[in-house]
Every structure is written in C-alpha cells, then in structure tokens.
Amino acid sequence: MKFDVIKKDVVTSTNTLLKEMAHSGAKSGTLIIANKQTAGKGRMGRSFYSPENTGIYLSVLLREPSLSEPTLLTTAAAVAVMKAISRTTKREPQVKWVNDILLDNKKVCGILTEGEFCESRLMFAIVGIGINVSTQNFPDDIKSRAGSIAADTSLKDELTQNLLFYLSQEFENADSREFLDYYRKRCVTVGKNIKIISPGKEPKEAFAEGIDDCAALIVRYADGTTENISSGEASIR
C-alpha cells in the first residue's frame, strides 16, 4: 500500500492528531511522522517518552482494514519494525507479546493500535509506532528496561525508509497472515511463566503456550485450564 506521508516537527501525539484527521475525512494510508511528541501515548494509558530528534514517532491510518482485530494489526506492525531494524542494523530484534520490540533485552519500540467501531464493525484503525533510535537519559520509571538502537542518529533516515517499506509490505499482504510465523519465531513470551495484567483485574499467573492465528496469547493456568488472551499485558516472571 502507498502512504501519504505528512511530516511534523512537534505534535502532542501522532495518534491523537491522526484520529482528528480521520474524523475530518483523511484517507486510508495517511501517515504522520513527527520529530517530537509532547504527549506520546502508550498502551494501557501509559505515556511514551518521545524526545526531540532521537526517535521515530509515526502513526498510519487504515480505513476498514482487512484485518479487523487490532491485535493482528499490532502484530503485523511489530513484524515490520523487526524487519526494518534487522535490515538497518544487521541485528536480530525480538518481541515481547504483544507490542514491545526488544534489543539486548531492552525495549526499543512500542506500538499502539487504536480502533473506532460502529456496531462492532471496525471503521478505521490507527497504528502508532515509537522507536528509540538514539534516545538517552530515560525517565527513572523506565530507564531500567528501555534502550535504544544506536548511539547516534546516523541510522535514523535509513531505518525510517526501511520501516515505511516493510509497513507497506506487511499491511498490503496482511490477509495471508504470513507475518504470524515471523512473529512467533521471535516472541520471547512463549514458553515462559508470565503474569497477565489487565485493567481493573487482579494479575493472574500463567504459562504462555503459544500465539494463535488471531495473534492472541495462548496461556495455561495452574489448574490446567487454557485461555486465549487478546488484550492486556503479559509480564515475564
């Protein structure tokens, strides 16, 4: 698919801005990329640290996407990010279900997919991606687990171009769900004891058995029962 790329210097959040544009009629494939976010958004109501010049912060609008599950769109985007990082750096990133891209066990990228539904039909989705290219001096609450891809911004332009290429490829071919095989091979969550964290619920301990064809995490509880989890967070114990 082709993107209509709009470059911004500073925004509150690329997701927030693109959602406003979607409501005003922006077409599918509209993509906003910013140099800085003052209120970057993460999953489960968290913020995403987005300082000036050191990261890639973008969002893409998909109208009535063929994949109607936001988790699948997140997974497809995660594969695009991993392929772009691998091609640019010759290193092999991994993914912690569902949206955290890791290098050397440090989170270097987060993905947030937000959808708007009408009578259970997904009218449009916005896939937001934030990559720490050379970000340093992370806030205290994330500095133990956050990392960057490089020591400087010399790879930023190449990484951006590779990311747009692979995003276009993965979204164009999303119906085949071939990206799931790539995702499964690089998912560090599978085979681990985890804690499932969902808003408003008590954390539950489980074992991660696999990824199903809808990108949900298959978990087994201590009593032997299983469940396919498509929302929330899986913290590796």
Q: Which architecture, in CATH terms, is 193-236?
A: Roll (2.30)
Tens of pLDDT, residue by residue over 125-171, are 999 999 999 999 999 999 999 999 999 999 999 999 999 999 999 99
Say which residues have a Cβ less than 8 Å from residue 161's Cβ, sequence separation at least 6: none
Chain center to CA of 131: 9
pLDDT level of residue 42 (50, 70, 90 thresholds)? confident
* % of the chain with per-residue pLDDT over 70: 99
Average pLDDT rounded to a whole number, residues 9-28: 97
The yes-or-no verdict on residue 43 having pLDDT over 80 is: no
- Residue 77 is predicted with a pLDDT of 98
Taking 70 as the threshold, does the pLDDT of residue 232 lie above it?
A: yes
pLDDT of residue 103: 97
Q: What is the CATH number of domain 4-185?
A: 3.30.930.10
**pLDDT band for position 20 (cuts 50, 70, 90):** very high
> What is the residue extent of each domain of the chain?
4-185, 193-236
pLDDT tens across 94-132, in order? 999 999 999 999 999 999 999 999 888 899 999 999 999
Strands ordered across the beta sheet of 217-220: 226-229, 217-220, 204-211, 193-197, 233-236
Q: Comparing 4-185 with 193-236, is the CATH topology the same? A: no
Average the pLDDT over each of 39-53, 97-111, 218-232 and give the range with the smallest value.
39-53
Coil vs helix vs strand at 15: helix
Which among 144, 111, 143 is positioned nearest to 129, based on CA atoms? 111
Q: Provide mean pLDDT across the span 210-218.
A: 97
Q: How confident is the model at residue 184 (pLDDT cuts 50, 70, 90)?
A: very high
Alpha helices in the chain (DSSP H): 14-23, 70-89, 156-172, 179-185
Q: What percent of the chain is predicted at pLDDT more than 90?
A: 89
Q: What pLDDT, on a 0 to 100 scale, did the predictor assign at position 44?
A: 67
Distance CA 106, CA 150 (A): 12
Continuous segment of H or E residues that includes residue 197: strand 193-197
Instruction: Name the pairing type of β-strands 4-11 and 30-37.
Output: parallel
d(CA 155, CA 84): 11
Q: Which run of H or of E encompasses 148?
A: none
Question: Scanning the structure block, which residue is given the tokens 């470059």?
Answer: 7
